[in-house]
Amino acid sequence: MTERRPLGRSAAGAIVAILAALVLAADQFVKYLTIQNLPPGQPVPVLGEFLQLIFVRNSGAAFSLGKDVTWVFTIALAVVAGVIVWKTLAVRSRLWAVVLGVLLGGVLGNLGDRLFREPGFPMGHVVDMISMPWMMPAIFNVADIFIVTGMISVALLIVVGLRLDGTRERAKNDRPRGGTSSSPATDGAAEAAQTSTDRTGS
């Protein structure tokens, strides 16, 4: 089973590039507003304790893990971005193009922070600002939202068997409609019978 109209390579690449650029722009714009308008470390309620804004600079990963080895996360993000771009070359599926586009945009958003923000290349601190204390203690940003959403979507596409080229994996017990299954022994018997018939008729 395939998608009705598989994308061409250029069309798939364009979808990935446009979505990645939009996500990157949104992430960096929110970070700019955060730096310009929020006091560092002070919670600003938006919807009570359900949603708060807190401007922090994170040198590590989630929950500030690995804050002393920031360069490791820079390399990891660069590798992930490279893999996504490489996979894009094989994409013919609209769904995969959308998912990889938003995932790439999120990765580039945080990678840009690692490369260009204080204290400097490649040890930059990621700007975080979104807090939902009722759900998790971590503070995250727009890029993180798209990264998590993208990874979940990748997992779902793999589970349903949708390949990058738009085709779907067939279950092992799927059989062609109207066809019959046969064993090697049955095939051999049929071939022997056909040979015997040919000799009799000659």
187 is catalytic: no
User: 100 phi and psi, to 5 degrees?
Assistant: -70, -30
Given the residues 68, 128, 165, 198, select the one marked as catalytic: 128
By CB neighbour count within 10 A (0-12 exposed, 13-18 middle, 19+ buried), where does 98 fall?
Answer: middle
User: 157 phi and psi, to 5 degrees?
Assistant: -65, -35
174 is catalytic: no
First to last CA, the chain: 45
Given the residues 113, 144, 165, 187, select the one marked as catalytic: 144
CA gap 49, 95 in Å, rounded: 35
Q: Which residues are catalytic?
A: 128, 144
